[in-house]
């Protein structure tokens, strides 16, 4: 799997979108829109956290243990009777760690751009976070990443390593570092939604376009 676009366009991605939509009580199209923006932001935040040896080691430990990818092996069971509280609480814990005090800002921004309520966005994020960790865990296993110094490359590969993705990544980091005035939100959303013509159809900028065939 070469990136998040491939994940969302894959049969696994379709199953995730359908399951998350059912749990959140939202249409699959709008749920896909939220996920297309949220997953790069969450992964960008994780990548930022792994800039320190402690952060990288913490993520490596999580991917080697609880978040080894096994959550993806039975999505039918995960979504069949509704996502249980353990998964939701785990998702909130992940969000607390990677977004911290920025979580409400992220939820409000995604709410405005996707046209869904912030409560719905919050639910989607809580489910998406453990699933994203599962994707990372499975990818780490597939690529035999066992040392924490390989985590940055793993995350970079899923985010994309071209010039456009690097520009988008720097915008994501600016957003996460911002003082809360929201001035970067339109730029980030524009990149994620492909509103910037310079972003083309690759990397994060093409996620929604690729997802819906635009």
Beta-carbon count within 10 A of 11 CB: 7
Rounded to an integer, the average pLDDT of 83-103 is 92
pLDDT of amino acid 184: 46
C-beta separation of 213 from 174 below 8 A: no
pLDDT in tens, 119-133: 999 999 999 999 999
pLDDT of amino acid 79: 94
pLDDT of amino acid 27: 95
pLDDT of amino acid 48: 83
pLDDT of amino acid 206: 37
Burial-class residue 85 by CB neighbours within 10 Å (0-12, 13-18, 19+).
exposed
User: How many angstroms separate the Cα of 103 from the Cα of each of 38, 53, 80, 119?
Assistant: 11, 24, 28, 12
pLDDT of amino acid 171: 54
C-beta separation of 67 from 130 below 8 A: yes
In the chain, where the domains are located: 4-159
pLDDT in tens, 6-20: 788 889 999 999 999
Does pLDDT of 117 surpass 90?
Answer: yes
User: How many angstroms separate the Cα of 76 from the Cα of each of 12, 82, 114?
Assistant: 11, 10, 26
pLDDT in tens, 149-208: 788 888 888 876 555 555 555 555 555 555 454 444 444 445 444 444 333 334 433 333
d(CA 119, CA 127): 13
User: How many angstroms separate the Cα of 207 from the Cα of each of 6, 19, 116, 193, 199?
Assistant: 9, 19, 18, 7, 11
pLDDT of amino acid 43: 86
């Amino acid at each position: 799997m070469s990136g998040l676009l491939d994940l969302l366009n894959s049969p696994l991605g379709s199953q995730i979108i359908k399951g998350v939509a059912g749990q959140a009580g939202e249409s699959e199209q709008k749920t896909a829109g939220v996920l297309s923006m949220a997953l790069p932001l969450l992964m960008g935040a994780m990548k930022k956290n792994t800039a320190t040896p402690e952060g990288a080691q913490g993520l490596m430990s999580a991917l080697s243990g609880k978040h080894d990818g096994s959550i993806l092996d039975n999505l039918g069971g995960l979504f069949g009777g509704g996502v249980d509280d353990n998964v939701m609480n785990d998702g909130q814990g992940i969000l607390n760690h990677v977004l911290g005090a920025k979580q409400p800002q992220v939820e409000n921004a995604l709410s405005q751009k996707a046209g869904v309520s912030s409560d719905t966005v919050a639910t989607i994020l809580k489910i998406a976070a453990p699933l994203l960790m599962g994707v990372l865990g499975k990818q780490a296993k597939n690529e035999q990443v066992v040392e924490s110094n390989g985590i940055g490359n793993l995350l970079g590969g899923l985010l994309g390593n071209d010039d456009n993705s690097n520009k988008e990544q720097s915008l994501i980091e600016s957003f996460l570092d911002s003082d809360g005035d929201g001035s970067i939100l339109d730029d980030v959303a524009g990149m994620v939604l492909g509103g910037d013509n310079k972003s083309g159809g690759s990397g994060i900028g093409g996620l929604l376009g690729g997802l819906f065939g635009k």
